């Protein structure tokens, strides 16, 4: 290998060093990602206040994307040189391949980040849902009880009141008619 490396031109050596170095860094980054250690986890002694949305945005220039660029840049350049492509065209092809890799990685991380759910419960989604009384609800809004109801794909136990003339006891089937400002469901029995 050492003899082969010495016989290469400077142009070929640059591509080989770039490809191997970037590949090693990429492998380390992948291993750290899978075991839970992120580059962003490194702590420093910096005191800065930043306000604003920290949501996921399309990040074309990031450390991972740059490593991906240099990895593909190096290996595509080596492939072009091995195929006998001219040096100028090799540089153009390897830069385009590297940029496509950066675009692919940025898109991947952007769309993966958008898959996350906020987990915020929106009680308005409970309107007109059918549920079952879990704890007795007093008649004419006399006392708060609880209902088991499916909201946003999850079975939840939520506080409820009723305008019905009789208490709603455990097992009664109800429908949500209203949600108060403080998040209490107003329910009515289904079998009136």
CATH number where 171 lies: 2.40.50.140
So what's the pLDDT on residue 41? Answer: 46
> Tens-of-pLDDT digits for all 192 residues of the chain?
556 778 888 999 999 999 999 999 999 988 887 787 555 544 545 444 444 444 456 676 788 889 999 999 999 999 999 999 999 999 999 999 999 999 998 888 788 777 766 667 888 999 999 999 999 999 999 999 999 999 988 899 999 999 999 999 999 999 999 999 999 999 999 975
So what's the pLDDT on residue 2? Answer: 58
**What Cα–Cα distance (Å) separates residue 71 from each residue in 1, 54, 59, 108?**
20, 29, 18, 17
Domain total for the chain? Answer: 2
So what's the pLDDT on residue 157? Answer: 93
Q: Rounded to whole angstroms, how far apart are CA atoms 113 and 28?
A: 22
Rg of the chain, C-alpha, whole Å? 30
Structure tokens at 30: 């992948």
User: Is residue 112 located within the same domain as residue 139?
Assistant: no
Last residue of a domain, one of 118, 139, 168: 118
User: Is residue 72 located within the same domain as residue 8?
Assistant: yes
User: Is residue 26 located within the same domain as residue 113?
Assistant: yes
User: Is residue 171 located within the same domain as residue 138?
Assistant: yes
Half-sphere exposure of 100 (CA within 13 A, CB side): 9
Alpha helices (H) along 36-173: 63-82, 87-114
So what's the pLDDT on residue 37? Answer: 59
CB 185 within 8 A of CB 158: yes
User: Is residue 62 located within the same domain as residue 4?
Assistant: yes
Residue in 77, 74, 63 with CA at minimum distance from that of residue 28: 63
Q: Rounded to whole angstroms, how far apart are CA atoms 153 and 24?
A: 43
Last residue of a domain, one of 118, 143, 175: 118
So what's the pLDDT on residue 57? Answer: 61
Q: 74: Cβ–Cβ under 8 A, 6 or more apart, which residues?
A: 15, 16, 17, 18, 19, 20, 22, 23, 94
Query: What are the strands, taking DSSP E only, across the chain?
Result: 130-135, 145-151, 154-162, 173-179, 185-189
Domain of residue 88, residue span: 1-118
């Amino acid at each position: 290998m050492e003899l082969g490396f010495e016989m290469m031109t400077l142009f070929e050596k640059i591509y080989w060093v770039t490809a191997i170095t970037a590949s090693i860094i990429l492998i380390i980054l992948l291993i750290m990602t899978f075991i839970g250690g992120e580059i962003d986890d490194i702590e420093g002694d910096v005191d800065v206040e930043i306000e604003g949305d920290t949501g996921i945005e399309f990040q074309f220039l990031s450390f991972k994307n740059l490593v991906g660029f240099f990895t593909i840049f190096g290996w595509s350049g080596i492939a072009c040189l091995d195929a006998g492509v001219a040096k100028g065209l090799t540089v153009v092809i390897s830069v385009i391949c590297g940029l496509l890799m950066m675009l692919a990685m940025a898109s991947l991380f952007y769309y993966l980040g958008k898959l996350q759910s906020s987990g915020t419960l929106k009680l308005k989604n409970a309107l007109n849902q059918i549920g079952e009384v879990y704890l007795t609800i007093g008649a004419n809004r006399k006392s708060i009880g609880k209902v088991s109801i499916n909201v946003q794909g999850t079975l939840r136990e939520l506080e409820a009141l009723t305008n019905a003339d009789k208490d709603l006891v455990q097992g009664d089937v109800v429908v949500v008619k209203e949600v108060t400002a403080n998040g209490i469901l107003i329910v009515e029995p289904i079998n009136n």
